[in-house]
Chain A
């Protein structure tokens, strides 16, 4: 299981990257993250929503209510222009951290 600090730090870039593929809603976002990480990245479900609301408040994403296939109301989120910029920034920063870590790891085995 991944440490909760890392889970919290990765929430925003993950949400932005998932929404870059198309609009989605809370439950689907959680399920996709769970599936893509083989269940190792687990959020407390309810905690996703304050994060989404905060991101919306900051103008990174927008939301709309629509009816699901079962007829229930669902809140769909999608990426805004500022969200795309933020996502690019996140990717840049996370890639940097990853390359530094990978470099150090490589040196250990040489």
Chain B
């Protein structure tokens, strides 16, 4: 006698052996198989016929595995550079630039004041000056990185959209 649950368990085993990943695609396919089975059974087919027909309509496991493989295989999603981190890097870059240049300007002013009295720059001022210049350079680098990534990201996104509409 036909046992639906056993037949579905067998079918699931075949799908898993063929490489259909669980849980999402297999759960979804099983739901479809059950709905189709019920529909066929309601329209008068025997349970065995309804199940065989539903399995046949779902399609060959090898073809399904290949097609599902293509879903993860396309790197469209991963190719796109997310915008939020780029904005954060860009803002950080601007902050570094502003703080660095303000620091450098302030140190130059202090140095000129000290120079007026003929005293040499002390070590602290020299160190702060180096640090503010480094901060300025870091800001420029961060801003450059985020700008380049933005341009590349925009190109990839427009390419991705073109592919999506084909």
Which residues of A are in contact with B by a Cβ distance under 8 Å?
25-27, 44-47, 49-51, 53-54, 57-60, 72-75, 82, 85-86, 89-90
Beta-carbon contact of A89 and B58 below 8 Å: no
Q: Is the CB–CB distance between A45 and B31 below 8 Å?
A: no
Q: B67: nearest residue on chain A (CB-CB)?
A: A50
Please state if B70 and A54 are interface contacts (CB–CB under 8 Å). yes
18 contacts between A and B (CB under 8 A): A27-B35, A44-B63, A45-B58, A46-B58, A46-B59, A46-B64, A47-B63, A49-B64, A53-B25, A53-B68, A57-B71, A59-B77, A59-B164, A75-B27, A75-B31, A85-B165, A86-B164, A86-B165
- The answer to whether B77 touches A57, judged by C-beta atoms less than 8 angstroms apart, is yes
B contact residues around A26 at 8 Å (CB): 28, 31-32
Contacts of B34 in A (CB 8 A): 72
What residues on A are CB-neighbors of B31 within 8 Å?
A: 25-27, 72-75
**Count, chain B residues at interface, CB 8 A:** 26
The answer to whether A60 touches B164, judged by C-beta atoms less than 8 angstroms apart, is yes
Q: Are A49 and B76 in contact (CB under 8 A)?
A: no
Question: Measured between alpha carbons, how far is A49 from B31 in the docked complex, in Å?
Answer: 12
Chain B contacts to A: CB under 8 angstroms: 24-25, 27-29, 31-32, 34-36, 57-59, 63-64, 67-68, 70-71, 74, 76-77, 160-161, 164-165
Task: Looking at the assembled complex, report how far the CB atom of A102 sits from the nearest CB atom of chain B, in whole angstroms.
Answer: 23
Are B29 and A58 in touch, CB under 8 angstroms? no
Closest to A42 in B: B57
Smallest CB–CB gap between B25 and chain A, Å? 6
**What chain A residues lie within 8 Å of B71 (beta carbons)?**
50, 53-54, 57
Verify A44–B28 contact, CB threshold 8 A. no
Known: A54-B74, A57-B71. A47 touches B59 (CB 8 A): yes
Whether the pair B74, A49 counts as a contact (CB closer than 8 A) is no
Known: A27-B35, A53-B71. A46 touches B29 (CB 8 A): yes
Closest 10 pairs between A and B when the two form their complex, measured CB to CB: A50-B67, A46-B59, A46-B58, A44-B59, A53-B71, A27-B35, A45-B57, A89-B165, A46-B64, A58-B164
